[in-house]
Structure 1
Amino acid sequence: MNGPPRDREPTAGGSGVGADDRAGPPRDAIPGSTGDRGRRRPGGRGERRMVPGAEFTSYYGLPILNGPVWQARDIAGYFFLGGLAGASSVLAAGAVLTGRPQLAYGAKIGATGAIALAAVALVHDLGRPERFLNMLRVAKPTSPMSVGSWLLTGYGPLAGAAAASAVTGRLPGLGLASTLGAAAVGPAIAGYTAALICDTAVPAWHDAYREMPFVFVGSAAAAAGGLGLVTAPIEQTPPARALALAGTAAELVSVELMERRLGMVAEPYRRGRSGRLMTAARLLACAGVAGAYLGRRSRALSALSGTALLAASAATRFGVFAAGVASAADPKYTVVPQRERLRRRAEQAAEAQAGPGTTR
């Protein structure tokens, strides 16, 4: 009884493959890739591949990640109000040191009111006040949430004491010390929420870890400058205008760099509700800065420009939050970048194994 030829082995399907076929297809015809589509194997053996290369679209339409459980109104509002408070404390200290009492007064009151509302929003999202107190049971420097809880605990009384001294006119020494203390902690209050969201697995947040702190701090500075334009007389607003300009420039440049680096993961920042919010933030910020400098002699235009800057900062925080939710809901923003990173690592490993001077 004759068996199959020696250079061919039977397969489970009953057909044979040649010895050189077992070595695998050529590099430009990897199964499942577009380069393999419609090719025959060398020598005419084998079957023509009729199935096109697979491209990821979804995971049965289901998200891979659990989306953020935070409420958008509470937490996005908390991001905005915390940033406004922290940056306003910095502006208040500068105004005190440069002899602008009315600008300092408005910034201190604004900082205290904003951090109080931020605390209300945070507790409302947590559900019960004791949950915030539970976060103070330990101090974990590697946890943005733990660090942020302690920052809020230290910052709130400082901002409140500074405002109380400004309103009552009493204990000016304590008021000055509290103002400077709040200003020292203010930048951390304005920026720690960026580290908080980038420490998650949400693609639009996690992958933006390099630029997001600059986006948040810049947005907070623009908001504080806008508040100063609204509350202070026109002759005391130059520091507020300068802060608004610097913050807006930092925010816009950082967002642009972030979107370019993120590639396809930046799509939620440009599309849908989050894209509309980010676009509105850019337009409002540019209009606010332009109005602030064009209306340097107009109290009404200065206040209107400040309102636009405040709205721009809020739109940025809500836009970033909405983009994160959208990226977590669509599995392609998780799977496709992971595959691309694996492909690059495989190529780097192959190049390292081939050694220098070897051409592929």
Structure 2
Amino acid sequence: MTLSEFDSYRPPETRRRRRSVLRAPQDGFARRRRRPGAGTNDGSREMPVVEDVEFTSYYGRPIVKPPPWGHEIAAYLFLGGLAGGSALLGLGAQLTGRVALRRSTRLTALGAAGAGAVFLISDLGRPERFLHMMRTVKITSPMSLGSWLLGAFSSAAGVAAAAEVDRLLGSRLPLGPLRGLLRGAAGPAGACAGLLGAPLAVYTAVLLSDTANPTWNAARRELPFVFVSSASLASGGMAMLTTAPSQTVPARVLAVLGVGGDLAAMALMQRRMHPAEAEPLHTGAAGTKLRWAERLAIAGGIGTIVGGGNRMAAGAAGLALLTASALTRFGVLEAGIESTRDPRHVIEPQKARLAARRAAGITHDSITTTG
């Protein structure tokens, strides 16, 4: 006998009980033996033969296939936000003449973008797969646009950072006649990286929510704001760690605004979601990460306001903000993956939306007429 691979998921079958029949009475009709306790007291009704069952999926398999993403993608989400926010801060420092802040943020932007690309390629498995993603430009695909966005941002950030390294080393790089060209291109490259920084920080939120994943899709309205605020925490915190407090006023303002935006967006997002969709954000490892992210964001924001002018206090606050941003990205990713494992996270919100449409009088479409 040949078995398919799906037989391994088939639940064990219980042996059926044979129905016993009494001997036929004189009237010629066979009567089945009544089970003890069946029916009501007067014997006119029988008990239900099907017991209440708990919903589960076919063979216990997930209804929505979980994405095969691990910590590499979570690190890429965090580093993309850090790179984008740092480039934006670098553009502000370039326009206001803050040389030390401009240098640190440009170097951070390039380092974060490069490390993020390494994590992305590691998740893809082979480096050439990243190049395959750039063979075409598909406007309706967040992944296709994100690949081109990352490439353009890294190129611009690389030119700006190279100029900063040359200045930092006292023009010792063997550039020859290219030094003047590099110095002249540093300003436009920094401006280009700064303008591309905000889309780089937020496009991953669109990438996650543009799926059938119940938790990510339910958060599609507020998740971009959560990621933008998270990028503000990361870039502001890193600038406070790497730059003297005398030049980090814009970074501190951005960090405080990021704390407020992160707390407000997360609260609004969870309130608008169905309880079954929001449950993975509160339970398990993802819930623990998000709770600590909220605590560290509040602590880092208070430390930025109170002790942002002191180098040690600013460094501690910046580290708390960086950690809060990383935990937010890791927690959101893990919560979305966890939401696909329990069929209840998929079915209960669908039933609630169907009931809401019918209650609103929408009964003429294919959604409400097939139930």
Q: Normalized against structure 2, the TM-score is what?
A: 0.79
User: Partner of 2:104 in structure 1?
Assistant: 106
- 1:173, CA displacement in angstroms? 2.6
Q: Is the contact between residue 74 and residue 122 of structure 1 (CA under 8 Å) also seen in structure 2? A: yes
| 1:75 corresponds to 2:73 | yes
Task: Say whether 1:311 aligns with 2:310.
Answer: no
Counterpart check, 1:214 vs 2:225: yes
CA distance in 1, matches of 2:59, 2:267: 33
For the pair 1:293 / 2:291, whether they are aligned, the reply is no
Change (3 A) 1:53 1:342: farther
Aligned-partner Cα distance in 1 for 2:48–2:355? 23
CA distance in 1, matches of 2:158, 2:219: 33
Native 8 Å contact 2:281 2:332 kept in 1: yes
The answer for unaligned runs of 5 or more in structure 2 is 1-30, 32-39, 168-178, 365-371
Q: For 1:82-97, what aligned pairs fall within 5 Å after superposition?
A: 82-97=80-95
| Aligned mate of 1:167, from 146, 165, 168 | 165
Structure 1 residue 252, shift from structure 2 partner: 1.1
CA 1:335–1:162: 2 relative to 1, 3 Å: same
Is the Cα–Cα contact under 8 Å of residues 276 and 344 in structure 2 kept in the other structure? Answer: no
> Conserved in 2, the CA contact under 8 Å of 1:59 and 1:331?
no
Say if 2:347 is the partner of 1:335: yes
Aligned length: 310
After superposition, the CA RMSD in angstroms is 2.2
Aligned equivalent of 1:149, options 128, 147, 150: 147
Given residue 210 of structure 1, which amino acid in structure 2 is its aligned partner?
Answer: R
Q: Residue 325 of structure 1 corresponds to which residue in structure 2? A: 337
Q: Secondary structure at the match of 1:141?
A: coil
Matched residue type, 2:280: P
Change (3 A) 1:341 1:297: closer
**Shift of the alpha carbon at 1:196?**
0.5
Residues in 2 aligned to 1:130 and 1:236: alpha-carbon distance in whole angstroms: 41
CA contact (8 A) 1:58 1:332 kept: no
Any stretches of 5+ residues in structure 1 without a counterpart? 1-13, 15-39, 353-360
Gap change, CA 1:297 and 1:247, over 3 Å in 2? closer
CA deviations on 1:174-224 (whole Å, 9 max, x unpaired) are 111001000111000000000111111111111110010001111001100
Give distance in 1, aligned partners of 2:349 and 2:227: 25
Paired position in structure 2 for 1:284: 296
The alpha carbon displacement at 1:46 in A equals 7.2
The separation in 2 between residues aligned to 1:131 and 1:118, in whole angstroms, is 15
Counting only pairs closer than 5 Å after superposition, residues 158-237 of structure 1 correspond to structure 2 as 158-169=156-167, 170=179, 171-237=182-248
Structure 2 contact 256–304 (Cα < 8 Å) conserved: no
